Amino acid sequence: MNVEARLKELVGDAAGRLHTARSRNDQVATDFRLWIRDEIDSLDGGLKAFQRALVARASAHAATVMPGFTHLQTAQPVTFGHHLLAYVEMASRDRARFAAARRTVNENALGSAALAGTSFAIDRDQTSRELGFSGAMRNSLDGVSARDFALEFLSACAIMCTHLSRLAEEIVLWSSPQFRFIQLSDAFSTGSSIMPQKRNPDAAELVRAKCARVTGDLMTLLGVMKGLPLAYAKDMQEDKQAVFDAADCAALSLAAMTGMVEDLQANEVAMRRAAGDGYSTATDIADWIVRVLKKPFREAHHATGRIVAMAEQRKCRLEDLSLGELQSVEPGITADIHSVMTLDASVASRTSFGGTAPAQVHEQVRYWQEQLK
């Protein structure tokens, strides 16, 4: 109405025709769709930059050995590059979700008027073309009352932020003195007000918190919409606050995580040392027994468990056990088993498609470099 009033100052009473065949209901719904469409395009560009940063780091650390975890317990050695590429895959699915949300949002509500359409001979196909929509919505009630496009956008934001939060949590862990896997510069960490030795990963911690806000925004709009009859109700004005907040948080979190990936410095020595702890090559011993001695895996598993118990009792690493000690558990073991007990041998052996072997990591890096051109 402010636009109409200003237009009247400029052109006179003809400005009153501006609202012909229109309602605030369909105009707001249309503007909201246009706004979300632009945000999706912006976030997709941010996700692509995030992927490129991860791929660049993965390429540099395709052979950097680190512990892989399950239950946050040392499981098997992997490469840092392989670990980072997991987030590239997540971001790819995030982009697919935003692309699907864009298709949902890219329909034209203009012409639905208040709820029933209009008696004026308007051309909804023309406005759809002018505004870049794929077409006009087929039901005027749905045109003014649908907010599933906003929910779909919020859902994609929440899932993306959940992925970012998982990486943020890992950065918090990795940068701690207990891990020392990475170090962030002062651009993404701060000192303590009283403890001069501290370097707090504040940016990563804030990304974790932003994720909670975005998830809350999704829950807010779901709660608003679940009890509304058709068509428009004033409750629906609450959609803006949730969507605008989620978009801001998502964009900021994405930019921060991209910056942290580009900024972090990997401590390869600490990663390798940690990968050697926790008997992470135990599975390689079991696999060797199956492959060479033709034993059932369950039997090999039990034998390897006794070997690990022996190493724990001796307070040594698996590769430090003598051949005689290994044969006391499984007489068929030969000196060849030592060839699979090193960290490098372990990761190099995981050559299955999508595995952690450096050769596979390089192959996946090449794939993503091509996809992200």
Cis peptide before 250 (omega within 30 of 0): no
Q: Which tokens is 63 given?
A: 């052979």
Is 71 a residue of the active site?
Answer: yes
Taking CA atoms, 10 is separated from 20, 167, 181, 366, in Å, by: 18, 54, 65, 59
Taking CA atoms, 19 is separated from 3, 8, 24, 115, 130, in Å, by: 11, 12, 9, 15, 18
Burial class (CB in 10 A: 0-12, 13-18, 19+), 196: exposed
Q: Which of 134, 192, 322, 339 is flagged as catalytic? A: 192
Which residues, at least 6 apart from 354, have a Cβ–Cβ distance to it below 8 Å?
Answer: 360, 364
Q: Which of 71, 119, 193, 352 is flagged as catalytic? A: 71
Q: Which tokens is 313 given?
A: 């009792």
Is 128 a residue of the active site?
Answer: no
Q: Helix 148-174 and helix 80-105: axis angle, to 10°?
A: 170
Nearest to residue 244, comparing CAs of 335, 153, 118, 318? 153
Query: How many CA atoms lie less than 13 Å away from 295 in the CB half-sphere?
Result: 20
Q: Which tokens is 49 given?
A: 């930059």
Which residues participate in catalysis according to the annotation?
71, 192
